[in-house]
Structure formats: C-alpha cells, structure tokens
C-alpha cells in the first residue's frame, strides 16, 4: 500500500516570504502522479500543482513549485511571495493507475502580515 507522509503539522510564513512544505511517500510503482491540494476554511479542495513521476522536470505554477526527488521519494512544495490568501490546509497526495487519491495528514499554513 502506498503511504504519504507530511511531517509538518503546522507551518508559519510572513507575507512576501518563501515557505517549503515537505512530503514523502512510499510506493513500489514506477508510474504514478503526485499532487498538492489546498483546503481553505470553506473546505473546498483546490488543486495547487501536480507532477508526473516520469517527468524529471519539476512542475511550476506561478508562485508554486515543487522539488520532486524520485529516488528519495520526496515531493516538497515551495510557495514564493506568500500571500494572506495562501493560508490554508495543504495536502500532499499520490495517485496510481487512475485509482483514488491517497492523502497525507496535511500541513496547516499560517501567513502573518
């Protein structure tokens, strides 16, 4: 079974600064996909970024980027120029062969002015 581990229950960052959220996973598969989702207080799940395991290039989406280390099974999320609206719960997730997303426990991100 695949497991996703987020070791930081809470993180704090000042506005305009950069923060990195950690995620590691365990799998025996070679082809899989990794995601970061944001869940604000509304509890709507919002896709932040996704990465295909077969791609060596790290995915980027505006202020969000990942550091994908396949051999180390690590998938961290970097948020640059943090904004107050980035405050939310962030979940790392794994998916394989069209099956359901498997989520980590989440990291609560606080953004201070």
Residues in contact with other proteins by CB under 8 A are 33, 35, 42-45, 47, 50, 52, 91, 95, 97-106, 108
Cα distance between residue 89 and residue 85, in whole Å:
12
CB 52 within 8 A of CB 96: no
Q: Which of 39, 80 has the CB closer to other proteins?
A: 39
Q: Which of 31, 81 has the CB closer to other proteins?
A: 31
Beta strands in 15-106 (DSSP E): 19-21, 24-26, 33-39, 46-52, 60-61, 64-69, 74-79, 88-95, 102-103
How near is the Cβ of 39 to other proteins at its closest, in Å?
9
How near is the Cβ of 77 to other proteins at its closest, in Å?
16
Which residue is listed with tokens 């290039």?
Answer: 57
Q: Which of 62, 113 has the CB closer to other proteins?
A: 62
How near is the Cβ of 83 to other proteins at its closest, in Å?
22
């Amino acid at each position: 079974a695949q497991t996703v581990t987020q070791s930081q229950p809470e993180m704090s960052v000042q506005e305009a600064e950069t923060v990195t959220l950690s995620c590691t996973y365990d799998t025996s598969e070679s082809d899989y996909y990794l995601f970061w989702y944001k869940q604000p207080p509304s509890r709507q799940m919002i896709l932040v970024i996704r990465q295909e395991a077969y791609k060596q290039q790290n995915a980027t989406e505006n202020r969000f980027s990942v550091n994908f280390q396949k051999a180390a099974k690590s998938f961290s999320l970097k948020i640059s120029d943090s904004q107050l609206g980035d405050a939310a719960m962030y979940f790392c997730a794994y998916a394989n062969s069209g099956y359901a997303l498997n989520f980590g426990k989440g990291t609560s991100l606080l953004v201070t002015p």
